[in-house]
Structure 1
């Protein structure tokens, strides 16, 4: 249940609707509260009072201006999302939706608009129904303050928006999110041992295991292992056939159970409830997604339409940062036990070797005819290996060296000038003299 709540919380953080909606409600509440305060306040400084006409003019002006500001904010946000998607990668867009500053600015201007509407309806002249003029001076003063704050917020928003398209800031944000998820999903390493990736552990089930199948399709966003174990009958062993970050196809196996459950439909429903499937891939439990995003930025930078090796270098450097942190951590256990003898096998867990391949395989192939990028790759691979020297990581080091060897081989086969080929050879020899 906690994992599902965290997933819903992640959706709310990615929503452009939630914070502005709260600010609209806040505008209504504050407006009503200020009208109540105005009814209690007497003897206001004449400099702060207003006539009915001036009050309506001020409120109408502030409301109209803030609504225009809101339109500008939404337009700029959509423009930035479009540019980031085309220039860097569609997968970095998800993180831009999570930018709290943008949502707060939108919330402020929309909340101010709502507040002005609430106060405006309370302004009445002596010629109207009640016969008494109502001019909530304190409420109008707050509307002016909120209007000025909205102007400053829009200026700050434009400044923030301009700087947010800096590729270094985008890569830094993706890296921070990936590192944060790595710390949450993978525990800290044991001091002097290679992380147990479970490659030799038997995860097979006897013949006759019953399959629980997906009843829908989409990206697996979260697996609540505790809830899944609790859904199994006592003494049941389940082998999970999916993982966070995999695309689920309808009617494909979600897991296999042995022995088969006495009430298969009820157990299947409970098991499916422990696996959250959604429309988009997210960083929830998916440590590989941050690596995928950075790798995509590097690939996009090397595409013929962009051809920006410097951006590729930046992305590869950030890849090294994320990969170094992940290789220092232990992947989650592949065998989990429940309180009543239930056992959950997780053979599809992400391994260190898979992460290294995901980070560098496609980038290496795409940069075959770009010696400068190949040298960047060798440099980052060497730095990541050096970051592991204080730990025993033979599996991770072997994967990194395998990548370096493939870079050397692809350089030998590439259609480049001999001086460029020699540059890559020399770079490899400096970093891997043995």
Structure 2
């Protein structure tokens, strides 16, 4: 349940309507509250404030009408700028990068603040009375409206500056890098809270032999696996005294009828248990960063691949992506990945998950870029340099072999595709340096 709530909350934060509507709701409450305070306290401006609020109801109407008109006009401009930025991002970086812009808090706050100020001014304007018997000028509410207008002008300058930075490739890649490191840390910490252990083949066979029935649970719909509620799965497995073998991780694409997991049990599971298990898997039409560990890597690879296409031909952006992928690779060398076997509180094996591996991350990060940049010397040399730098951080022989495999593939690719001897010699210098250090 916590996973589903966190998933829904993430979707809400990534929408263009939730935060803006929340700000509008706060503005409505503020308007009603401040008007009520004006009514019961008969607030009169004194000192310097009285120069801001001179005149009666006509002046109040004029101020509020001007603010409301200006705010709704600027709101239209902000919407236009946002749509232009999204269009540019889609064409330059790819449609899958749009959700990064939608998650941007400044965009959401700016959209909400202008609409909220408009609504606030309209509500306060409605309360201004000029008839002598019911004469009422909400001075405090009007003063707050002026403050909101000034703040929104400052916010507009900030928004334009932010948007200009936001559509720069270097900034986009840097933000993906930072978000991925944070997401990886949270995911690994979340999975490590379980009793994760490594089992030998003999131990696994012994665990399987305790159960007499094996059932296959198949997927019910197509789509990307976006989140898995491991807490609930562990609870179900413990309560029902069963062992679950999960074949997919968030980010994998599911096809109807494919084997999702396997249940080892003493008695056949009833329909309610199967439904509970299905409810622990959340699928959707697209990949999300909620639990997808290599989601950020795919985004950077997409930017690099587009930059290397003949229509764009922007190797500098691709090199920037390689540099950031190298930084992530160095970070991954320091990570102790969670083990796939999860025990309950009684140290009994309950879940076997599809593990996160260093090899999968490195393959995802470097294979596709190498394929797209196979005839570009600068790309191959930078890939070789990046892998050599990653190898310098590794103390584990198994991970060193993974990096060495990729280095040798790049060398073979260069031998086949680099016609200029000087280009190949530059790459060979990096390779020889790696061999000497090894």
The answer, yes or no, to whether TM exceeds 0.5 is: yes
- Give yes or no for the alignment of 1:24 onto 2:27: no
Find 2:140's aligned residue among 134, 138, 144.
138
For residues 264-310 of structure 1, give each alpha carbon's deviation from its aligned partner in whole angstroms, at most 9, with x where no partner exists: 31111111111122232112222111111111111111111111111
- In 2, are the aligned partners of 1:196 and 1:331 still within 8 Å (CA)? no
CA 1:199–1:363 in 2, change beyond 3 Å: closer, same or farther? farther
Q: Give distance in 2, aligned partners of 1:385 and 1:342.
A: 35
Q: Give distance in 1, aligned partners of 2:27 and 2:360.
A: 50
Superposed counterparts of 1:1-40, under 5 Å: 1-39=1-39, 40=41
Superposed counterparts of 1:81-160, under 5 Å: 81-126=86-131, 131-160=133-162
Unaligned runs of 5+ in 2: none
Find 2:416's aligned residue among 393, 413, 418.
413
Match of 1:309 in 2: 315
For residues 110-167 of structure 1, give each alpha carbon's deviation from its aligned partner in whole angstroms, at most 9, with x where no partner exists: 211111111011112218xxx4222212211211121121111111101110011222
Q: Give distance in 2, aligned partners of 1:201 and 1:424.
A: 46
Match of 1:345 in 2: 352
Match of 2:226 in 1: 221
CA 1:187–1:139 in 2, change beyond 3 Å: closer, same or farther? closer
CA 1:342–1:380 in 2, change beyond 3 Å: closer, same or farther? closer
- Give yes or no for the alignment of 1:250 onto 2:252: no
For residues 385-407 of structure 1, give each alpha carbon's deviation from its aligned partner in whole angstroms, at most 9, with x where no partner exists: 1122xxx3212111111101000
Could you tell me how far 1:349 is from its partner in structure 2?
1.9
Structure with bigger helix share is 2
CA 1:371–1:137 in 2, change beyond 3 Å: closer, same or farther? same
- Give yes or no for the alignment of 1:211 onto 2:212: no
Could you tell me how far 1:42 is from its partner in structure 2?
4.4
SS of the counterpart of 1:92? helix
Superposed counterparts of 1:279-358, under 5 Å: 279-339=285-345, 341=348, 343-346=350-353, 348-358=354-364
Could you tell me how far 1:173 is from its partner in structure 2?
0.6
Q: Give distance in 2, aligned partners of 1:330 and 1:273.
A: 30
CA 1:125–1:253 in 2, change beyond 3 Å: closer, same or farther? same
- In 2, are the aligned partners of 1:261 and 1:267 still within 8 Å (CA)? no
Find 1:237's aligned residue among 235, 238, 243.
243
CA 1:294–1:25 in 2, change beyond 3 Å: closer, same or farther? same
Q: Give distance in 2, aligned partners of 1:167 and 1:236.
A: 49
Q: Give distance in 1, aligned partners of 2:329 and 2:94.
A: 20
CA 1:36–1:235 in 2, change beyond 3 Å: closer, same or farther? closer
Q: Give distance in 2, aligned partners of 1:203 and 1:248.
A: 26
Q: Give distance in 1, aligned partners of 2:144 and 2:286.
A: 42
- In 2, are the aligned partners of 1:182 and 1:326 still within 8 Å (CA)? no
CA 1:255–1:430 in 2, change beyond 3 Å: closer, same or farther? same
Q: Give distance in 1, aligned partners of 2:305 and 2:131.
A: 69
SS of the counterpart of 1:219? strand
- When structure 1 is superposed on structure 2, of 43-52 and 96-105 the one drifting more is 43-52
- In 2, are the aligned partners of 1:301 and 1:312 still within 8 Å (CA)? yes
Q: Give distance in 2, aligned partners of 1:218 and 1:119.
A: 48
- When structure 1 is superposed on structure 2, of 370-379 and 317-326 the one drifting more is 317-326
Q: Give distance in 1, aligned partners of 2:58 and 2:70.
A: 18
Match of 1:180 in 2: 182
Unaligned runs of 5+ in 1: none
Match of 1:384 in 2: 390
- In 2, are the aligned partners of 1:196 and 1:330 still within 8 Å (CA)? no
Could you tell me how far 1:197 is from its partner in structure 2?
8.1
SS of the counterpart of 2:220? coil
SS of the counterpart of 2:342? strand
SS of the counterpart of 2:250? coil
SS of the counterpart of 2:152? helix
Q: Give distance in 2, aligned partners of 1:239 and 1:202.
A: 15
Q: Give distance in 2, aligned partners of 1:171 and 1:372.
A: 19
